[in-house]
Amino acid sequence: MVKYKELEGKNIVLGVTGGIAAFKAADIISRLKKQGASVKAVMTKNALNFIHPLTLETLSGNPVYHDTFEHRANAWEIDHISLAKWADVMLIAPATANIISKVRCGIADDLLSTVIMATIKDVLFAPAMNTNMLYNPIVQENISYLSQKGYGFISSKSGMLACGDFGDGKLADVDDIVGHLARHFENREGMNGINVMVTAGPTREYLDPVRFISNPSSGKMGYAIAKECADRGAKVDLITGPTNIEPPENVNIYKVNTAKEMYERALELYPNCDIVFKSAAVGDYGVERVEENKIKKSDETLELVLVRNPDILKELGRQKRKQILVGFAAETENIEQNALKKLKDKNLDFIFVNDIKRAGAGFEGDTNAGILFTKEGDKMEFAIQEKSGLAGSIVDVVLKQI
């Protein structure tokens, strides 16, 4: 048996739903117990038709929950809240199309769906169902929606299904499920003790108190990186220009407007940083003279003199001691050459470059694509994908260097 230290002492709520693979819940519990985890099982009404709760109760050494209104000895505890808090992670295995689709809609009409709604911990689904059900566009859309919202999925495998069909939809092997959970915790805790600084969003270069020059950066890529690092246990300082999106939880937010403000804050926080992700779209030029009062229109043309803003990243590169610097470049031409030049000029360890003319890789969308270069000359290409998924891949590559 492979021993995963990450599972030792973890509390796992196992949701069991009504598919033929429900009997495998017994094996999952027994393996998790052997890894040193504690398991509490919650069964749906349909799951009770496939496996007796006594089996899961005996293997887990804990009561099995299935009724929201069951009267327990410790009646002052509300099961769905105490389970939601007790869990370090929730694993739904097997997960039917029904539970996946209910969660997507926010339905909480039995104990399991209510615990899933009530928890702020990660929830991983291991789907098991007939191939046609799995590939039903509604189910696929629900899986994709939940993935975007941060729910995890342990892919089913191909094989002979209970209905006699051959195809995808078989519950992942129990070994794979246990390994996936271990990797989940490894990722979640892999950045404990690491200080990360992320810059995100646009800057504003003011002409007068109400007008400014800016760009359409949404901040989504930087926020996704900040969230990814915080979820993995890092201490994250997020310096953000003005955005319209919710900042991630568990990060220190520093709001700035101008490139100069971002420069000052970045330099102040820099000495304590281990890794910097410089994803902000910083204005290269600011207005030489910012008018104190609103500029009045006249019949004359208005001439503005723009002066260079400090290159924050270049300065960080100059002052670099122990830090790992990750730059971002949005390019429209000579993508690779420009990125490599910046990597060298700014003394970076990595640069992620995207071609903003390419559909799905722009400033404002939810997706991105691009190339990550290392200072050693390695090159990794990333296809169009959700910014959240891409953030995970970029962080994975950077962590290998520590």
Closer residue to ligand C5P, CB minimum distance, 226 or 329: 329
Chain position carrying tokens 């496939």: 50
DSSP, collapsed to helix, strand or coil, labels residue 326 as strand
Q: Can you tell me which of 40, 66, 220, 278 binds ligand C5P, judged by CB under 6 A?
A: 278
Residue 2's nearest CA partner among 190, 153, 159, 173 is: 173
Interface with ligand C5P by CB under 6 A: which range of 96-104, 146-154, 239-247, 278-286?
278-286
Closer residue to ligand C5P, CB minimum distance, 270 or 328: 328
Q: Can you tell me which of 32, 313, 372, 395 binds ligand C5P, judged by CB under 6 A?
A: 313
Per-residue contact flags (x/-) with ligand C5P for residues 195 to 234, judged by CB under 6 A: ----x-----------------------------------
Q: Can you tell me which of 342, 343, 354, 370 binds ligand C5P, judged by CB under 6 A?
A: 342
Closer residue to ligand C5P, CB minimum distance, 67 or 345: 345
CB proximity list for 348: less than 8 A, separation 6 or greater: 313, 317, 325, 326, 327, 342, 375
Can you spell out the DSSP letters for 341-369?
A: HHHHHTT-SEEEEEETTSTTSSSSSSEEE
Closer residue to ligand C5P, CB minimum distance, 233 or 310: 310
CA separation (Å) from 141 to 7, 27, 82? 31, 30, 31
Q: Can you tell me which of 174, 197, 329, 395 binds ligand C5P, judged by CB under 6 A?
A: 329
| Rounded Cα distance, 307 and 285, in Å | 5
Q: Does 328 bind ligand C5P (CB under 6 A)?
A: yes
Q: Does 378 bind ligand C5P (CB under 6 A)?
A: no
What is the nearest approach in angstroms of ligand C5P to the Cβ of residue 284? 5
Q: Does 312 bind ligand C5P (CB under 6 A)?
A: yes
- Specify the pairing of strand 252-255 against strand 235-240: parallel
Just list the catalytic residues: 163
Half-sphere exposure (Cβ direction) of 280: Cα atoms closer than 13 Å? 33
Closer residue to ligand C5P, CB minimum distance, 123 or 316: 316
Q: Does 373 bind ligand C5P (CB under 6 A)?
A: no
Q: Does 280 bind ligand C5P (CB under 6 A)?
A: yes
| Rounded Cα distance, 400 and 372, in Å | 14
Residue 160's nearest CA partner among 130, 203, 189, 133 is: 130
Q: Does 258 bind ligand C5P (CB under 6 A)?
A: no
Which residues make beta-bridge pairs with 109? none
List contacts with ligand C5P (CB under 6 A): 199, 259, 278, 280, 282, 284, 309, 311-313, 327-329, 342
